[in-house]
Amino acid sequence: MALDQESFALLRASVQRFIDERLKPAEDTLEEIDDVPADIVADMKEMGLFGISIPENYGGIGLSMSQECDVVYDLGHTAFAFRSVFGTNVGIGSQGILMDGTEAQKQAYLPKIASGELIISFALTEPNAGSDAASLQTRAELDGDHYVINGTKRFITNAPRAGAFTLMARTGGAGASGISSFIVPADTPGISLGKPDKKMGQRGTKTCDVVLENARVPAANIIGGVPGVGFKTAMKVLDRGRLHLSALACGMAHRLITDAVAYAKERKQFGKPIGDFQLIQGMLADSQAELYAGLSMMRDCAQRYDAKPAGKSDPEVSMLASCTKMFCTEMVGRIADRAVQIHGGAGYIAEYKAERFYRDVRLLRLYEGTTQIQQLIIAKHLLRD
Q: Which of 191, 297, 301, 377 binds ligand COS (CB under 6 A)?
A: 377
Q: Report, in Å, the least distance between residue 314 CB and ligand COS.
A: 8
DSSP-assigned beta bridge partners for residue 168: 181
Residues 6+ apart with CB under 8 A from 383: none
**Does residue 235 interact with ligand COS by CB under 6 A?**
yes
| Chain residues 265-294 in contact with ligand COS, contact rule CB under 6 A | none
Residue 373 in contact with ligand COS, rule: CB under 6 A = yes
Contact pattern from residue 83 through residue 102 relative to ligand COS, giving x for each residue in contact according to CB under 6 A and a dash for the rest: --------------------
DSSP annotation of 305 reads H
Query: What is the closest distance, in whole angstroms, from the C-beta atom of residue 58 to ligand COS in the complex?
Result: 23
* Least distance from ligand COS to the Cβ atom of residue 333, Å: 17
**CB of 274 vs ligand COS, minimal distance in Å:** 38
Contact 146, 218 (CB under 8 A): yes
Q: How far apart (Å, rounded) are the C-alpha atoms in residues 126 and 212? A: 12
Q: Which is nearer to ligand COS, 287 or 324 (CB)?
A: 324
- Show contacts with ligand COS in window 283-342 (CB under 6 A): 313, 318
- Residue number with CB closer to ligand COS (244 or 353): 244
Q: Which of 79, 124, 208, 364 binds ligand COS (CB under 6 A)?
A: 124
- The CB-side HSE value for 277 (13 A sphere, CA atoms) comes to 14
By annotation, the residues acting in catalysis are 368
Our finding on whether 209 is near ligand COS (CB under 6 A) is no
At residue 258, φ and ψ (nearest 5 deg) are -60, -45
Helix (H) or strand (E) holding 286: helix 278-307
259/342 Cα distance (integer angstroms): 10
Residue 57 sits in the site that holds ligand COS (CB under 6 A) = no
Name which position in 40, 47, 108, 134 contacts ligand COS (CB under 6 A): 134
Give every CB contact of residue 251 below 8 A, 6+ residues apart in sequence.
72, 73, 74, 75, 76, 77
Least separation in angstroms between CB 193 and ligand COS: 17
CB contact set of 100 (below 8 Å; sequence gap of 6+): 181, 223, 224, 229, 233, 236, 311
Residue 238 binds ligand COS (CB under 6 A): yes
If binding is defined by CB under 6 A, does position 176 make contact with ligand COS?
yes
- Among positive and negative, which fits the CA dihedral 255, 258, 263, 264? positive
Q: Which of 131, 137, 269, 303 binds ligand COS (CB under 6 A)?
A: 131
Residue 382 CB neighbour total at 10 angstroms: 8
378 binds ligand COS (CB under 6 A): no
